[in-house]
Homo-oligomer: A and B are copies of this chain.
Amino acid sequence: MLIENKKTSNKIGGKEVNIKFNNQKNTLFVDLNGELDHHNAKRIREKIDSEFDENGYKNISINLKGLNFMDSSGIGLIMGRYKLVNELGGRLFLTNVNFRVNKILDMSGIHKLVDIYENNEDVLKHL
């Protein structure tokens, strides 16, 4: 039978932005998945910031590969993390920026502030 009794995991709002952390060369690597809107941005911000504060990183690198929606709340989130690292002399990296996310970042001039690379390996080469 084709349809099993499994969860749709297709939550609205909840549409669970999963965050994964990884530490290399003083840099907090963050994997974002799901939808980045105002509803989810708050939770993401708090998770990133507490991880960043607790473990004394210098840089943050955000991997946007799993992001399937982003509105201008994403600009706020990225700008905010840029300020955070910049005050401490660190850098903010973005990786796997897709066409849609790029369209929104383009409007904001964020390209001038953050370093955008293909993927995590590329970021590590530049550290």
A interface with B by C-beta (< 8 Å): 1-3, 98-100, 102
Contacts and interface: CB of A to CB of B under 8 A. Distances in A.
Stoichiometry (number of copies): 2
Contacts of A2: 98-100
A63 to B, nearest CB: 14
9 contacts: A1-B98, A1-B99, A1-B102, A2-B98, A2-B99, A2-B100, A3-B98, A3-B99, A3-B100
A1 B99 CA distance: 5
Nearest to A98: B2
Q: Which among A2, A98, A99 has the greatest number of chain B C-beta atoms within 10 A?
A: A2
Contacts of A102: 1
Nearest to A96: B2
A99 B2 CA distance: 6
Contacts of A99: 1-3
